[in-house]
Amino acid sequence: MKETIRVAITGAGGQIASALLPHLLSGEVFGKERRIALHLLEMPRGMKRLEGTVMELEDSAFPLLESTVIGDDPRAIFNGVHWVIFLAGKPRTKGMQRSDLLKVNGDIAKEHGKALVKAAQDVRILVVANPANTNCLIASTAAGEIPVERFAAMTSLDETRARAQLAKKAGLSAEEAHRVTNVAIWGNHSPTMHPDASHARIDGELVSGMIDTGWLRGEFVELVQERGKRVIDTSGHSSALSAAKAIADHIKHIITPTPDGEWFSAGILSDGSYGIPKDVVFSFPLVSDSKGNCRIVQGIVQDAFTKERLRATLDELLEEKKEAEALGLLSD
């Protein structure tokens, strides 16, 4: 009998959720020996749109889909779930500042964090809705007894963007971007985050020996930092297809062992590594043991340029945390 994985998605009527569902239901993420029970959460005004999504799921007849539950009560939707993917929140639109998102989406993160009391004991939570790092901190603070180690903010999209840019610069095709490894995403999922290619490799060879250092510290960093904004400016809405793929990648990183000598990036509560204070959710290079236990990769050499960029993204996170505290989002 196939094992059932219960997956909750908030903001399930949106574009990212629609793009994510085929990844989950194809067996790509959890494998073809596990059935998926979907728990889909949406606000009342979005329920009709979600009902349409469910109709499409029925029409698609995914063989791994065991059941679908929809609703607008997070406590009911989170009952017994093993994974929660936080997509719910106002998307960033053209001209909107990240601080505006915190005011709108922080309350949602806090409410949903409290509702996790009904989740399975081994629940894991991925926060995607921006500002993702600080929303992750808010949700984990509100979640009571759920260990903070079970929470993460997604920076796999930044990592994928960085790998794609490095592959392109090195003359590889888009489908060959998987040959790029060990890009590190440090800090906040925002334009201040630092995509660090100083230890990146292509087929085991250092990228720094193939690509000009000036480009790696200049145009490359800007391309990755500003990619989300450029998508919004071009299409009028935030990334959906690439965000869905990055969610699938993140989950796979967590539930499969990291290959020796490689790493992936995600935002987790700092343990003080690399001088980052313990009270912020910060993206680090990580490795997983396949049981969901992740640890920060230690001993990565950082030059003066990297340290300067880390200070900038840390300052932004500390400012977001200060604002969240002022809004009462980090208290009961």
**Residue recorded with tokens 């200060």:** 322
For 31-64, what is the HEC assignment?
CCCEEEEEEEECCHHHHHHHHHHHHHHHHHCCCC
What six digits make up the tokens of 59?
């029409």
DSSP 182: -
Q: Is-cis flag, bond preceding 195, omega within 30?
A: no
User: In DSSP terms, which residues pair with 201 in a beta bridge?
Assistant: 181, 206
Catalytic-labelled residue, pool 39, 189, 250, 253: 189
**The dihedral sign for the CA sequence 70, 134, 99, 165:** negative
**Residue recorded with tokens 């806090």:** 110
Nearest CA among 277, 281, 284 for reference residue 302: 284
* H-run or E-run covering 180: strand 180-181
DSSP 183: -
| DSSP E strand stretches across 221-322 | 264-269, 281-288, 294-296
CA–CA gap between residue 234 and residue 223 (Å, rounded) = 14
User: Taking a C-beta distance cutoff of 8 angstroms, is the pair 128, 151 a contact?
Assistant: no
253 is catalytic: no
Catalytic residue set: 189
